[in-house]
């Protein structure tokens, strides 16, 4: 397959020695118009972002939560045939509380108010029911096309092997208690938090189109940064809450600032003594440097020949 892709792209694919199954291409090569991309054989991503996933060390059978998944995630899951074991929710990541399995199914109606009307999940279809379409119309007519941040998550995709087919909806869509997460939570959690993107080369290049005069508003605005710092900490707290005891969480951003990275980790560790920073296996051979907190990692264009990325890996200890 590699030789076929090289022939189509008219360039050589170089193996990235420190990142399994990753290949590098010259920056001027565009892949979006290629058959290999359109057919789901290749995908473009910065090598540093791949390192964050490698740091998570996902193993067969793991329940994994990506708390800040991209809006186009459903299209990607289907295009790359990765959706069979996936569930995709639209939700506020600071409030999301659905576990991969629930240990309190017997008391759902009493504890959450979710009624069991006998509704179960059938195999996924992209066609919405008449009832769902009417509900959406009413929401738009009321001037609220998007659900409030604290409303229940909206399930917008699930695969045939995701464990939902044949299960009662009230058993899946109920919020979880913290005590449930310790035993029935996720094995791995990724919190690739929203940030100012000041370390992303592709993002900074967009200012050629947006206008460099917009950088103050988009990146340097003090109020926006304060809001982001608050959001980042809340995302990290909720992601850790949904992690099972012994599980691992990776916090990452593509910002180069200390405030959005080490400072967030410091605040979090002060609040949660059951969290402990963990070294990333194999990172000694990565082209990155240590952050200002031991065991954290930093990628940057000068050191790594990648975009900027901060990576911190945490483990959840018994409380």
Tell me the C-alpha distance between 306 and 284, whole Å. 17
- Length of the chain in residues, anyone? 319
Q: Is 192 annotated as a binding residue?
A: yes
Q: Which of 170, 174, 182, 254 is catalytic?
A: 254
Supply angle C-alpha 203, 204, 206, rounded to 5: 70
Using the structure block, give the residue that is written with the tokens 């066609």: 127
Phi, psi for residue 112 in degrees, rounded to 5: -120, -15
Q: Identify whether 170 is a catalytic site residue.
A: no
What local confidence, expressed as pLDDT, does residue 180 receive? Answer: 84
Q: H helices then E strands: how many in the chain?
A: 14, 11
The answer to whether the beta carbons of residues 147 and 91 sit under 8 Å apart is no
Helices (H), 142-177: 169-172
What local confidence, expressed as pLDDT, does residue 103 receive? Answer: 42
Residue (of 81, 15, 2) closest to 47 by Cα position: 15
Structural domains of the chain ordered from first start = 1-44 (no CATH), 45-316 (3.40.50.150)
Q: Work out the end-to-end distance of the chain between its first and last CA atoms, rounded to an integer number of angstroms.
A: 49
The answer to whether the beta carbons of residues 40 and 80 sit under 8 Å apart is yes
What local confidence, expressed as pLDDT, does residue 319 receive? Answer: 82
What local confidence, expressed as pLDDT, does residue 179 receive? Answer: 82
DSSP-assigned states of every residue in 175-212? PPPHHHHHHHSEEEEEEE-----TT-HHHHHTHHHH-G
The answer to whether the beta carbons of residues 29 and 56 sit under 8 Å apart is no
Kindly give, in sequence order, each residue whose CB lies less than 8 Å from that of residue 129, ignoring residues fewer than 6 positions away: none
The answer to whether the beta carbons of residues 165 and 123 sit under 8 Å apart is yes
What local confidence, expressed as pLDDT, does residue 119 receive? Answer: 84
Tell me the C-alpha distance between 164 and 154, whole Å. 14
Phi, psi for residue 86 in degrees, rounded to 5: -110, 150
Kindly give, in sequence order, each residue whose CB lies less than 8 Å from that of residue 82, ignoring residues fewer than 6 positions away: 76
Write out the chain's pLDDT in tens, 319 residues.
899 999 999 999 999 999 999 999 988 899 999 999 999 999 999 999 999 999 999 999 999 999 998 768 888 898 898 889 999 999 999 999 999 865 444 433 444 444 555 688 888 887 766 566 566 666 656 655 454 555 678 888 999 999 898 888 888 887 777 888 888 999 999 999 998 878 666 656 665 666 756 666 666 677 888 999 999 999 999 999 999 999 999 999 999 999 999 999 999 999 999 999 999 999 999 999 999 999 999 999 889 988 899 999 999 999 8
Tell me the C-alpha distance between 274 and 316, whole Å. 6
Tell me the C-alpha distance between 167 and 118, whole Å. 10
What local confidence, expressed as pLDDT, does residue 78 receive? Answer: 86
* Residue 228 burial (CB count, 10 A): 21
- Exposure string over 187-220, b if 16+ CB within 10 A, otherwise e: bbbbbbbebbbbbbeebbeeeeeeeeeeeeebbe
The secondary structure of residue 165, as a DSSP letter, is B
The answer to whether the beta carbons of residues 74 and 137 sit under 8 Å apart is no
């Amino acid at each position: 397959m590699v030789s076929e892709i090289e022939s189509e792209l008219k360039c050589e694919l170089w193996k990235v020695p420190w990142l399994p199954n990753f290949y590098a291409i010259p920056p001027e090569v565009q892949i979006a118009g290629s058959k290999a991309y359109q057919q789901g054989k290749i995908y473009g991503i910065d090598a540093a972002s791949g390192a964050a996933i490698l740091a998570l060390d996902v193993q067969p059978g793991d329940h994994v939560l990506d708390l800040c998944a991209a809006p186009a995630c459903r299209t990607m899951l289907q295009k790359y045939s990765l959706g069979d074991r996936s569930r995709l929710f639209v939700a506020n990541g600071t409030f999301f509380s659905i576990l991969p399995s629930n240990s309190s199914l017997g008391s759902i109606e009493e504890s959450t108010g979710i009624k069991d009307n006998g509704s179960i999940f059938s195999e996924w279809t992209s066609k919405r029911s008449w009832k769902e379409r009417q509900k959406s119309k009413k929401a738009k007519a009321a001037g609220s096309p998007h659900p409030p941040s604290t409303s229940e998550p909206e399930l917008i995709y699930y695969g045939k092997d995701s464990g939902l087919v044949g299960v009662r909806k009230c058993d899946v869509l109920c919020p979880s208690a913290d005590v449930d997460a310790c035993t029935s939570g996720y094995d791995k959690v990724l919190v690739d938090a929203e940030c100012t993107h000041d370390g992303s080369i592709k993002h900074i290049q967009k200012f050629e189109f947006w206008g460099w005069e917009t950088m103050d508003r988009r990146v340097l605005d003090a109020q926006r940064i304060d809001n982001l710092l608050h959001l980042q900490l809340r995302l990290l707290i909720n992601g850790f809450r949904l992690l099972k005891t012994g599980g691992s969480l990776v916090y990452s951003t593509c910002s180069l600032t200390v405030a959005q990275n080490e400072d967030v980790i410091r605040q979090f560790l002060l609040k949660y003594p059951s969290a402990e920073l963990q070294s990333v296996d194999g990172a000694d051979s990565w082209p990155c440097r240590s952050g200002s907190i031991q065991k954290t990692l930093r990628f940057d264009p000068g050191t790594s020949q990648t975009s900027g990325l901060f990576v911190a890996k945490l483990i959840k200890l018994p409380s």
